[in-house]
Structure 1
Amino acid sequence: MQVLIHEMGKFGLVGGVCYAIDFLVSNLCHTLLGMGPLSAKTVSTVVAATFSYIGNRQWSFNHRARTGLRREYTLFVILNTVGLLIALGCLGFARYVLDLRGVLAFNLFGNVIGTGLGTVFRFWAYKKWVFLHPDHPKAVVNTGADQENHRPIPEHAGRL
């Protein structure tokens, strides 16, 4: 339970910074640059997700096993795409079903509700598939620059 609370705290701090990036970039793209709401949200999510990967890999889940950059990043991109689709679904529903077109609706449905639901999904998914527990069969530590130099993580490693 202590590890979960620790991970959630770090994930929350990284998420807060990335939320600010997402919010600012989406509003810049939508209100100042005139991009459509879905395009603006897509651009902002890509920028924020890049920062999120670095922060979560290097800090939030740095005690968890590494399974190779290619595998982790591929899964991270896929899961963030699902998170983006959740946010776009909320935003699209507000815009094209409810016909809510103001900046307040854009922020409420895209940046609060959509991002909030996507964040819950991403936290669960990162722990399950991207940043694995050291006991997981795919858990290895990269001891060199290439993927050939891996060794298993001791069972007790990664526990706080």
Structure 2
Amino acid sequence: MTARPHPARPHSLRASLTPPRELVGFAAVGLLAYAADLTLFSCLRGPAALDPLTAKSLSFLAGCTVAYLGNARGTYRHARLSGMRPYAVFVAVNLAGALVQLLCLAVSHYGLGLTSQRADTVSGAVVGMALATVLRFWGTRTLVFRAEGRVGSWSG
């Protein structure tokens, strides 16, 4: 008796599922980018004595660059990229994520009147970061590295 192969999953279902390798790669790259952002910000604020907004702007761009390169050469290495457009879209997606974090903090602090340091940390660094990460993952996967056959593929 010959074993029959399992029927293939419909393409639409396969395309909508996220392989664990993609999630792990995205998370690992994100942690590396966060470390680069934090380290550079600390150096620019400390020894370099830059003002906080300039330091954060530069460290944000450095973190975005680390994340873009890590995702382009690792997590989404099979995507076909050309020119500066993918990087610009990636930075825009990350700016949108930063705005989500600020919005969560603003709503909690100013809208709901939850003004303690703990409330600010929970709203900005926990709730805001979680929502921003979902947005960044979706935006990175669908707007930046959306090459045909790559998003949701099981090969790699």
Above 0.5 in TM-score?
yes
CA distance in 1: counterparts of 2:74 and 2:52, whole angstroms? 33
Q: 1:21, 1:75 → 2: CA distance?
A: 20
- Tell me the distance in 1 between the aligned counterparts of 2:104 and 2:84: 30
1:1-160 → structure 2 map (5 Å cutoff): 4-21=19-36, 45-63=60-78, 65-97=79-111, 98-102=113-117, 104-135=118-149, 159-160=155-156
Partner Cα distance (2:131, 2:42) in 1? 19
CA contact (8 A) 1:41 1:88 kept: no
Partner SS, residue 69 of structure 1? coil
Secondary structure of 1:126 counterpart? helix
Identity of aligned residues (%): 31
Cα deviations across residues 26-68 of structure 1 (Å, max 9, x unaligned)? Answer: 8997xxx9959xx9976764443232112111211112x2231
Query: Could you tell me whether the CA contact under 8 Å between 1:87 and 1:111 is conserved in 2?
Result: yes
The higher-RCO structure (CA 8 Å, 6+ apart) is 2
Give me the TM-score of the superposition, normalised by structure 2: 0.65
Distance in structure 2 (CA, Å) of the matches to 1:107 and 1:26: 19
Q: Which amino acid in structure 1 is aligned with residue 124 of structure 2?
A: G
The equivalent residue for 1:144 is: none
CA distance in 2, matches of 1:17, 1:101: 30
State how many pairs are aligned.
134
**Runs (5+) with no aligned partner, structure 1:** 137-156
Normalised by the size of structure 1, how large is the TM-score?
0.63
Task: Report if aligned partners of 1:134, 1:158 keep a CA contact under 8 Å in 2.
Answer: no
Decide whether the 8 Å contact of 1:45 with 1:84 is kept in 2: no
Would you say the 8 A contact 1:41–1:110 is kept in 2? no
Measured in 1, the distance between the counterparts of 2:144 and 2:115 equals 36
Quote how far apart the aligned CAs of 1:120 are.
0.5
Q: Which runs of 5+ in 2 are unaligned?
A: 1-13
* Larger Cα-atom Rg: 2
